[in-house]
Amino acid sequence: MARIVMKFGGTSVADLDRIRNVARHVRREVAAGHEVAVIVSAMAGTTNQLVDWTRSISPLHDAREYDAVVSAGEQVTAGLLAIALQDIGVAARSWLGWQVPVKTDDAHGAARITGIDAEILRDRLGQGQVAVLAGFQGLGPDNRITTLGRGGSDTSAVAVAAALQAERCDIYTDVDGIYTTDPRIVPEARRLTRISFEEMLEMASLGAKVMQVRSVELAMIHGVRVFVRSSFAEPDDAQTGDGDLPPGTLICDEDEIVEKQIVTGIAYSKDEAKITLRRVPDKPGIAASVFGPLADSQINVDVIVQNVSADARHTDMTFTVPRADFEKAMEVIRDASEVIGYEELSGSADVVKVSVIGIGMRSHAGVAAQMFKALASKGINIQAITTSEIKISILIEAAYTELAVRTLHSLYELDRP
């Protein structure tokens, strides 16, 4: 017998039939003798609608009222799932964020969980009752409802799993796991049976959007094993995948991964834009004069490349920003032109970042060299490069995305045999 947390996203609870289907998934775990807490999202599309309404009624709405409105979708699904469970003979009770409570800070609209009082939940689970929690919401220090930012129910699930010291946090979604790359680009992509927290963080933040990045960070900090699986598989099928787990991907500590791949996956992100400053004075403080104003404007800078200067007086600098912030970033740099003192400013949103990720890279040389050679043989020009211990990212022209991802996927032998 184990204590497990099951989380169902918006597409998994999109209508009443799917909610009934979710109830059967829960019943299977209860029948296996487990104590179960369930976290639900709002029905697909609901939160978008609620957000739209707050914006339409007033663009400058109060963030506390935004939270009062957009948290409502999860209340509906929590109640409906509790009813569906009771209907098939499973004892269940719904819980809203404030009833647990899931305590958060006061950053309405993007609140952080500060603590969960899990005692009452533990108590009910011990009595054999399934706890169905509304994800995405909490209670702020001002005694008002808060929400955790879009996609936040993943974070709710991991936080509850940590508070309950659950054996596992199962994330049920519309895909059956984490793949070596986007299967829409490479049909030969394979489902990974295991991936480390660190690799998943790189995959998630680089555009493999299965889970909210913050939830993966939280899982890593608290050592919560997360299992990504499909809610569309038949609930009563006793399918087997890796060991005693059904098909899916386990996100876990790297100690749990026996065979460490050099390269685990290829991610890409189209959410990038590149900005280049030419002939910037090469002197102390220059990077601060460029990146300070961007930070002040809440713009995240990612890849940064600075040249050595040929004449010891000037240098060129290239960096990337989220595509949505491109225009704003260009404006910020233009406004700071006097202080920075560059000669030419240029930018392009026609770029994509492709990354090769794997914990095995720590102990293997030559991954980058192989990568650059393979891309060169396809005539793909690399505009910028950054690396970390477990990843190599390059910036290329967007038109080459598919070719680059496919080339790298087969180069590192990730294609399904």
One symbol per residue from 29 to 48: x for binding ligand ASP (CB under 6 A), - otherwise; what is it?
------------xx----x-
Residue 14: CB minimum distance to ligand ASP, A: 12
Looking at beta carbons only, is 19 or 303 nearer to ligand ASP? 19
Kindly indicate which of the ranges 29-37, 145-153, 157-165, 280-288 contains the residues binding Mg ion, using the contact rule CB under 5 A.
145-153
Q: Is 306 helix (H, G, I), strand (E, B) or coil?
A: strand
152 binds, among ligand ASP, Mg ion, none (CB under 5 to 8 A by kind): ligand ASP
Looking at beta carbons only, is 154 or 170 nearer to ligand ASP? 154
Number of Cβ atoms within 10 Å of the Cβ of 242: 15
355 binds, among Mg ion, ligand ASP, none (CB under 5 to 8 A by kind): none
Q: Is 214 helix (H, G, I), strand (E, B) or coil?
A: helix
DSSP bridge partners of 230: 173
Q: Which two tokens stand for residue 177?
A: 């796991």
Q: Which of 321, 59, 286 is nearest to 331 (CA)?
A: 321
The residue behind tokens 């509304």 is 134
Binding residue for Mg ion (CB under 5 A) from 135, 138, 140, 151? 151
Q: Which two tokens stand for residue 20?
A: 């009934």
Residue 39: CB minimum distance to ligand ASP, A: 9
DSSP bridge partners of 38: 6, 132
Kindly indicate which of the ranges 5-13, 23-31, 247-255, 341-349 contains the residues binding Mg ion, using the contact rule CB under 5 A.
5-13
| Interface with Mg ion: number of residues (CB under 5 A) | 2
Q: Is 120 helix (H, G, I), strand (E, B) or coil?
A: helix
Q: Does 152 bind Mg ion (CB under 5 A)?
A: no
- Distance between CA 313 and CA 316 in Å, rounded? 11
Q: Does 97 bind ligand ASP (CB under 6 A)?
A: no
Looking at beta carbons only, is 96 or 340 nearer to ligand ASP? 96
Binding residue for Mg ion (CB under 5 A) from 3, 9, 116, 414? 9
Instruction: With residue 347 as reference, give the H or E element that holds it.
Output: strand 344-348
Residues 327-386 that bind ligand ASP (CB under 6 A): none
End-to-end CA distance of the chain: 37
Residue 204: CB minimum distance to ligand ASP, A: 14
Q: Is 20 helix (H, G, I), strand (E, B) or coil?
A: helix
Q: Evaluate whether 250 touches 194 at the Cβ level (below 8 Å).
A: yes
Binding region for Mg ion (CB under 5 A) = 9, 151
Binding region for ligand ASP (CB under 6 A) = 9-10, 41-42, 47, 73, 135-136, 150-154
